[in-house]
């Protein structure tokens, strides 16, 4: 019995969600009372395996093969399948990345198992694993218990578990190479150069500080005020949906159920009401500060600090104080 977290890297750099998923795996392993194993896949990934082994995990297993140098669904599904067959875990967890969405259904269908995607919580109830999944754009949470025998397969939503909650271990965890056989003839696709985001595209999921604007900003001419505050704080600018729908900011800056899920240290919400579709994308922030002139705005229910005031008075004062 073990929990196996399949981490993700590309070109020798971690995907930021890998350690969030290891944190989720640590909670699940503690609840099940079993070891936590982390799989690192790729070619030439010994350095990354050592980094994973520095965390409080039971073991790191390395699947290092030239056929895994670049991502292909055939190669990765074959590699993880063999790892699962050799390790026989109870639970296999993945970060809910684009890559996982691509190969995990193939892997799990091949094993005749269900794939529980985009979970936002894991618990053990009476010895049974229970996953929490959001339904209807985050309006409802459903508890889902997988039927049948282990192993169970699930992916974890970005921003739900905190990577920084994962403690470093004492001595490094043991690192073991797994032998897998990947026949290059099995790989039916030839990867091209990875997709490059548009130049200057922002990765809100990696931002430590986010200043987010809502309809309370009133006019696109007022956006520079929020930009100035974001710059004074060294943070990124984000927005609620109406701001992006209006074309005042690009879609890549939208936070919420149809935008990004973020988990910064500080989320400063300016003139955002706190609709559920927005809140699901940012409630994982460590500290939430809301400025809203309506004291009944739902955003105050989840804010750590609330300022009931006109943002056009508070924001310039904040900028002036930060510049001092």
Ligand X SMILES: Cc1cc2nc3c(=O)[nH]c(=O)nc-3n(C[C@H](O)[C@H](O)[C@H](O)COP(=O)(O)OP(=O)(O)OC[C@H]3O[C@@H](n4cnc5c(N)ncnc54)[C@H](O)[C@@H]3O)c2cc1C
* Site pattern 10..29 for ligand X (x: CB under 6 A): --------------------
Rounded-to-integer distance, Cα 105 and Cα 124, Å: 24
259 binds ligand X (CB under 6 A): yes
**Quick one: 106 or 133, whose CB is closer to ligand X?**
133
Rounded-to-integer distance, Cα 241 and Cα 215, Å: 9
Q: Considering the complex, what minimum distance in angstroms separates the CB of residue 165 from ligand X?
A: 25
**Quick one: 83 or 307, whose CB is closer to ligand X?**
307
Rounded-to-integer distance, Cα 163 and Cα 309, Å: 34
**Quick one: 107 or 272, whose CB is closer to ligand X?**
272
Structure tokens at 150: 């282990």
**Quick one: 208 or 310, whose CB is closer to ligand X?**
310
Total length of the chain: 324
H helical segments located in 114-233: 223-233
- How open is the CA angle 269-272-276, to the nearest 5 degrees? 105
* Residue 167 CB neighbour total at 10 angstroms: 10
Rounded-to-integer distance, Cα 23 and Cα 200, Å: 30
311 binds ligand X (CB under 6 A): yes
Q: Considering the complex, what minimum distance in angstroms separates the CB of residue 163 from ligand X?
A: 23
Q: Are 90 and 150 in contact (CB under 8 A)?
A: yes
**Quick one: 146 or 271, whose CB is closer to ligand X?**
271
Q: Considering the complex, what minimum distance in angstroms separates the CB of residue 216 from ligand X?
A: 3
H helical segments located in the chain: 17-32, 46-53, 73-87, 98-110, 223-233, 241-245, 276-279, 299-302, 311-323
Residues 197-226 within binding reach of ligand X (CB under 6 A)? 214-216
Q: How many residues bind ligand X (CB under 6 A)?
A: 28
Q: Considering the complex, what minimum distance in angstroms separates the CB of residue 305 from ligand X?
A: 14
* Site pattern 118..137 for ligand X (x: CB under 6 A): -------------------x
Say if residue 205 is exposed, middle or buried (CB neighbours under 10 Å; 0-12, 13-18, 19+): middle
Residues 264-303 within binding reach of ligand X (CB under 6 A)? 271-273, 275, 277-278, 281, 291-294, 297
Q: Considering the complex, what minimum distance in angstroms separates the CB of residue 251 from ligand X?
A: 10
**Quick one: 137 or 145, whose CB is closer to ligand X?**
137
**Quick one: 9 or 257, whose CB is closer to ligand X?**
257
Q: Are 220 and 248 in contact (CB under 8 A)?
A: yes
Q: Considering the complex, what minimum distance in angstroms separates the CB of residue 218 from ligand X?
A: 6
151 binds ligand X (CB under 6 A): no
Structure tokens at 286: 């460590």
**Quick one: 68 or 272, whose CB is closer to ligand X?**
272
* Residue 184 CB neighbour total at 10 angstroms: 10
Site residues (vs ligand X, CB under 6 A): 137, 214-216, 240-242, 254-259, 271-273, 275, 277-278, 281, 291-294, 297, 310-312
């Amino acid at each position: 019995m073990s929990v196996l977290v399949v981490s993700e890297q590309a070109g020798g750099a971690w995907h930021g969600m890998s350690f969030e998923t290891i944190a989720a795996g640590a909670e699940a392993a503690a609840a099940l009372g079993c070891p936590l194993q982390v799989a690192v896949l790729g070619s030439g990934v010994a350095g990354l395996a050592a980094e994973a082994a520095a965390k409080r995990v039971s073991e790191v297993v390395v699947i290092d093969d030239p056929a895994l140098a670049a991502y292909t669904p055939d190669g990765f599904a074959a590699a993880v399948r063999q790892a699962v067959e050799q390790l026989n875990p109870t639970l296999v967890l993945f970060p809910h990345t684009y890559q996982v969405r691509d190969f995990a259904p193939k892997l799990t269908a091949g094993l005749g198992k269900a794939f529980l995607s985009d979970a936002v919580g894991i618990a053990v109830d009476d010895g049974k694993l229970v996953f929490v999944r959001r339904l209807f754009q985050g309006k409802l949470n459903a508890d889902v218990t997988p039927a049948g025998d282990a192993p169970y397969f699930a992916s974890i939503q970005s921003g739900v578990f905190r990577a920084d909650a994962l403690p470093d271990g004492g001595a490094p965890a043991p690192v073991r190479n797994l032998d897998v056989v990947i026949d290059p003839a099995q790989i039916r696709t030839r990867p091209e150069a990875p997709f490059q985001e548009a130049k200057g595209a922002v990765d809100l999921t990696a931002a430590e500080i986010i200043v987010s604007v809502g309809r309370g900003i009133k006019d696109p001419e007022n956006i520079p005020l929020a930009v100035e505050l974001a710059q004074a704080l060294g943070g990124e600018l984000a927005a609620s949906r109406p701001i992006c729908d209006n074309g005042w900011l690009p879609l890549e800056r939208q936070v919420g159920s149809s935008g990004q899920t973020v988990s910064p240290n500080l989320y400063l919400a300016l003139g955002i009401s706190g609709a559920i579709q927005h809140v699901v994308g940012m409630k994982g922030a460590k500290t939430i500060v809301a400025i809203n002139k309506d004291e009944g705005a739902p955003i105050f229910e989840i804010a750590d600090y609330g300022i009931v005031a006109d943002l056009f008075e508070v924001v310039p004062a904040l900028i002036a104080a930060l510049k001092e």
